[in-house]
């Protein structure tokens, strides 16, 4: 069904403890839209979310329709206060309480047993629910003004790179949702870390804004990362994190993720780009500032390549913030093949590599 999408400006800014939460007339009006079952895209500290009343099955259903999202890919419920947990979570294991205490508000999603009040539509038919408290003043103000947990996946068409700017949301969802709250670029740029807290050991189902190392320090013990094999098994079997089995973050042209260590990595990217150009392809590369500088020093001719700089290898936060925008920028060019530079998999690098590998449809080459 067509909708008249309006775009409203809201305050920009990052969450800061003790900061008065911005409640503007636009946020109050957006909360009304949500209470009436409508769809509102809003900024969070990770990416833009597409919100609906998470306890209203038909409102939630319209999220799946607007995004073209498979209905068995469950949504995350966003809350603004710890007290909001009681109505949606049946049991809060001690480790989960500890993680919430340390990382909320922040880019961490906890998978917990759900209560009856949470519709199966929200959880994709599972008896667990994913919950997080976002660290963004607009998101928190919107949730509080609405008075219900908001189901909010990323505000993009399913399969496309996630939106880190309001214009990305508009490009994907204009005419399909009711409101876009434009709060400027998001800070972190990759989604939350999803942790299954229903068993004895917490398991990372999706790496994200909070690193494995930080989680382990907080719980004072091991945190597992769901294995590659377990992820593969999702293609047929029951899914611990159903989202893992779907195509994600994909640019329009086929992409390849190139792994290795600089400077050999930079040489390999250059060789592959040259070979592709020789075959008549138009090549786009999303690479580090160091790669670009290296090619300059080596007098490598890059004039026929479309280069997107994702930031410095020494600053993974910068890279995380730029990868989705970079993939979308490549979509706005005429490139026919894309090469992506890898980063080390520690800290935020694990989440970045997870997204780049998915953008490449798991086509990975290198040492
Ligand atoms: P998105 O909101 O699109 O960034 O994706 C939410 C992620 O959380 C997906 O990978 C989902 O599969 C995962 N997720 C949501 N709810 C659950 C749940 N109850 N159990 C396991 N994974 C979940
Ligand atoms: Mg998403």
The token duo for 6 is 């309006």
- Per-residue tokens: 337: 């093949």
- Ligand 1 atom 22, closest CA: 241
pLDDT at 19: 64
Q: How many CB atoms lie within 10 A of CB 297?
A: 10
- Indicate whether residue 129 lines ligand 1 (CB < 6 A): yes
Q: Which ligand is nearest to the CA of 246?
A: 1
- Judged against a pLDDT cut of 60, whether residue 134 lies above it is answered with yes
Look-up of token digits 């809003």: 42
Of 72, 190, 198, 206, the one to substitute when testing ligand 1's pocket (max ligand atoms within 8 A of C-beta) is 206
Residue 237's pLDDT is: 47
Q: Which ligand 1 atom is the nearest neighbour of the CA of 191?
A: 4
Residue nearest to atom 3 of ligand 1 (CA): 153
Q: Is 49 in the pocket of ligand 1 (CB under 6 A)?
A: no
- The answer to whether the CB of 195 is under 6 A from ligand 1 is no
Q: Is the CB of 154 under 6 A from ligand 1?
A: yes
CA distance 168 to 156: 8
pLDDT reported for residue 229: 53
Note the pLDDT tens digit of each residue in 244-283: 666 678 899 999 999 999 999 999 999 999 999 999 999 9
Do residues 192 and 210 touch, judged by C-beta distance below 8 A? Answer: yes
Atom of ligand 1 nearest to the CA of 192: 4
Ligand nearest to the CA of 192: 1
Residue 57 pLDDT > 80: yes
For the CA of 126, the closest atom of ligand 1 is 19
Give yes or no for a contact between 24 and 112, defined as CB atoms under 8 angstroms apart: no
Contact (CB, 8 A) for 208 and 214: no
**How do residues 112-124 score in pLDDT, each as one tens digit?**
999 999 999 999 9
Helix axis angle for 316-331 and 349-359, nearest 10°, is 20
pLDDT digits (tens, 9 = 90+) for 72-93: 999 999 999 999 999 999 999 9
Cα dihedral sign, 259-260-262-263:
negative
Domains of the chain, each with CATH number or no CATH: 6-236 (3.90.870.10), 255-366 (3.40.50.11030)
Ligand closest in space to the Cα of 172: 2
> pLDDT-derived band of residue 230, with 50, 70 and 90 as boundaries?
low
Predicted TM-score of the model (pTM)? 0.94
Full strand arrangement of the beta sheet holding 364-366: 306-311, 283-288, 337-341, 255-259, 364-366
Range of lowest pLDDT (17-26, 87-96, 168-177, 190-199): 17-26
Strand extents, DSSP E, 21-122 = 40-42, 49-53, 76-78, 108-113
| pLDDT tens, position by position, 303-340 | 999 999 999 999 999 999 999 999 999 999 999 999 99
Name, in order, each residue with C-beta under 8 angstroms of 48's C-beta and a sequence gap of 6 or more: 41, 42, 154, 155, 156, 162, 163, 164, 165, 166, 168, 169, 186
- 340 near 308, Cβ under 8 Å? no
pLDDT > 70: percent of the chain:
93
Q: Is the CB of 241 under 6 A from ligand 1?
A: yes
How many whole angstroms separate alpha carbon 290 and alpha carbon 296? 10
């Amino acid at each position: 069904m067509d909708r008249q999408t309006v775009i409203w400006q809201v305050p920009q800014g990052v969450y800061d403890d003790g900061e008065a939460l911005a409640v503007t007339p636009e946020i109050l009006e957006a909360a009304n839209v949500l209470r009436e079952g409508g769809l509102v895209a809003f900024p969070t500290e990770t990416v833009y979310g597409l919100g609906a009343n998470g306890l209203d099955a038909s409102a939630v259903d319209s999220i799946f329709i607007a995004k073209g999202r498979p209905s068995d890919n469950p949504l995350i419920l966003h809350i603004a206060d710890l007290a909001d947990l009681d109505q949606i979570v049946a049991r809060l294991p001690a480790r989960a309480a500890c993680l919430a205490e340390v990382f909320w508000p922040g880019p961490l999603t906890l998978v917990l047993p759900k209560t009856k009040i949470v519709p199966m539509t929200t959880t994709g038919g599972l008896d667990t629910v994913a919950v997080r408290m976002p660290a963004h003043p607009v998101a928190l103000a919107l949730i509080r003004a609405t008075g219900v947990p908001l189901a909010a996946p990323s505000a993009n068409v399913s399969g496309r790179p996630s939106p880190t700017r309001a214009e990305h949301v508009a490009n994907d969802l204009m005419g399909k949702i009711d409101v876009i709250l434009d709060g400027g670029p998001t800070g972190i740029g990759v989604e939350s870390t999803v942790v299954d807290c229903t068993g004895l050991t917490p398991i990372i189902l999706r790496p994200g804004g909070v690193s494995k190392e930080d989680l382990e320090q907080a719980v004072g013990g091991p945190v597992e990362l769901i294995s590659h094999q377990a992820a593969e098994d999702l293609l047929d079997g029951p899914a611990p994190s159903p989202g893992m089995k779907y195509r994600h973050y994909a640019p329009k042209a086929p992409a390849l993720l190139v792994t290795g260590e600089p400077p050999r990595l930079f040489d390999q990217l250059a060789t592959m780009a040259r070979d592709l150009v020789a075959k008549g392809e138009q090549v786009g590369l999303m690479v580090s500032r160091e790669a670009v500088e290296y090619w300059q020093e080596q007098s490598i001719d890059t004039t026929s390549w479309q280069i997107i700089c994702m930031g410095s290898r020494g600053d993974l936060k910068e890279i995380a913030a730029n990868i989705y925008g970079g993939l979308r920028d490549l979509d706005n060019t005429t490139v026919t093949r894309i090469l992506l530079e890898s980063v080390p998999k520690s800290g935020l690098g694990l989440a970045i590599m997870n997204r780049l590998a998915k953008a490449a449809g798991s086509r990975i080459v290198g040492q």
